[in-house]
A and B are shown apart, each in its own frame.
Chain A
């Protein structure tokens, strides 16, 4: 006699783990985009705003209002963005119906990387050929120095995003070496467009901070304020012009407030660096932190206040001396299973 064997769908289901990350079809992404646009209009309607001029910032604000979340990780909070930002770009299937791959370098494994290397090398050879032609004709080679400081190469992550392929550190460094070799040739200006694809502009001056103009008080004396922090200390400093070099902290003279020489040296550091010790008067308030932290906070506050009195070049010099950066070092937290931030418990053999 035959017996019925009952099988569940679990047996018939293929091994899910081996298929890799989820693959999104083009139709799926299109549907998501349509849904997103529709949802955007609904949201604009709900918020009482015009659906036509509803920007991404408005969407973010609306979602933050409708779904408030106290989670620390911004990526974990509810978000509504265009599907291209949420679903990572994936490569379309690289082979045709008969199973033959389209690209000739498919079987290397890193087809886009190797094709990129081949392209760049071809550009290098063409530049060298052009150079030879120019020298054969006897014309001088132009050598315009590229602004090294204003641009940087793409980072490994950006290159990976561009190629849609994983790269190793070695691969990335080899590519950058090749690019640098190309740039180093005198007639590399021909391939400027190609090179620009792989370089990004760095903001030339790191002085993105706006320098406030001087304020004048009742007697016509110029003054400016600055705020500084260091560890847990918060300080505000008011620097007055036409002074004798007197410094007052929380109502007391610095000689009484900071008995240690090192702290007083730190307070005078910005003034001594600019060479204007006896010219300014300073009144500061500081709270929190310890002795050294308060001195560091006042130093930062006074340096920030002095920016308004001084030329741009001197501000750049102050920045390069480390006077204008906020010190990010704070007390490291204690970890569970250890006695302190680094110290482990005494190891006992038994």
Chain B
């Protein structure tokens, strides 16, 4: 939750320069654009495109594009949220292990849901969600905090000021809480996929320790409402 850099006259004047993204240091020149691998965007026939999209396509045709990273693919099974979560779970670059843990987690969720499905009476069968991807997305959405706290030093004292969070930050916090919760608060013998699937199912139903942590954060923000005017951005 860092405060943004001071917006100066130079930055505002420079902000209109199109397509130039300031990068700290990268092997690509700043004029390179991000690749888009989704097939649906390219399968649209010409007539359906709006004016804006046609202009965008024309502009894109003149610019160089970065190479697609190994995690990006156009297959149906590739999900950006799941890739991000796998990367966060990864330790010391062991992507193979992280990916297998993720696969086992989704399998465990599916198994638990199917068990529930077969045990449930006829009328409740439709309410039980069996798709592990839907459960994952919904659980993460439920875990995302709306408002966060930021440390602002004023007059020597540091105050916790409530601050609206950006989308990226919300997603990151939800995933980070999920992973830390599963790594720390579990019995020594339980494996990660089992614990993760448990937490995801609880979060899907708006229960569990991560949702509690989110509510605690919201309450703290509500309590510190008086300092909200310290925020200048």
- B-binding residues in A (CB < 8 A): 148-150, 169-170, 173-174, 176-177, 202-206, 260-263, 265-266, 268-269, 272-273, 275, 292, 295-296, 300, 316-317, 319-323, 325-330
Given contacts A176-B17, A206-B64, 19 further A-B contacts (CB under 8 A): A170-B9, A170-B13, A177-B13, A206-B62, A262-B99, A265-B73, A269-B37, A269-B73, A272-B73, A275-B39, A292-B70, A296-B70, A320-B42, A323-B35, A325-B64, A325-B65, A325-B66, A327-B67, A328-B28
CB–CB A148/B59 < 8 A:
yes
Chain B residues near A328: list those with CB within 8 A: 27-28, 67
Can you list 26 A-B contacts (CB < 8 A)?
Answer: A148-B55, A148-B58, A150-B62, A169-B10, A170-B9, A203-B62, A205-B61, A205-B62, A206-B62, A206-B64, A262-B95, A263-B70, A265-B73, A269-B68, A269-B73, A269-B74, A272-B73, A272-B74, A273-B37, A292-B70, A300-B67, A320-B65, A321-B37, A322-B72, A325-B35, A326-B67
Q: List chain B residues, Cβ under 8 A from A272.
A: 73-75
Min distance, Cβ B79 to any Cβ of chain A, angstroms: 13
Quick one: closest A residue to B33, CB to CB? A320
B60 at the binding interface (Cβ < 8 Å): yes
A261 to B36 Cα, complex, angstroms:
21
Chain B contacts of A261 at CB under 8 A?
99
Contacts of B96 in A (CB 8 A): 260
When distances are taken between beta carbons in the complex, the residues of chain B under 8 Å from A317 are: 42
- Bound form: Cα–Cα A316–B62 in Å: 11
Q: How far is the CA of A326 from the CA of B16 in the complex (A)?
A: 30
Decide if A268 touches B75 in the complex (CB within 8 Å). yes
Q: Across the two chains, which residue of chain B brings its CB closest to A322? A: B35
CB within 8 Å for A173 and B17 given contacts A322-B66, A325-B67: yes
Task: Judge whether A295 and B63 touch: CB under 8 Å.
Answer: no
Assess the B61–A273 pair: CB atoms within 8 A. no
Q: Once the chains are docked, how many angstroms separate the CA of A275 from the CA of B36?
A: 16
Q: Interface digits, B64-103 against A, CB 8 Å rule (1 contact, 0 not)?
A: 1111101111110110000000000000000110010000
B1-41 CB mask vs A (1 if < 8 Å, else 0) is 00000000110011011000000000110000001110100
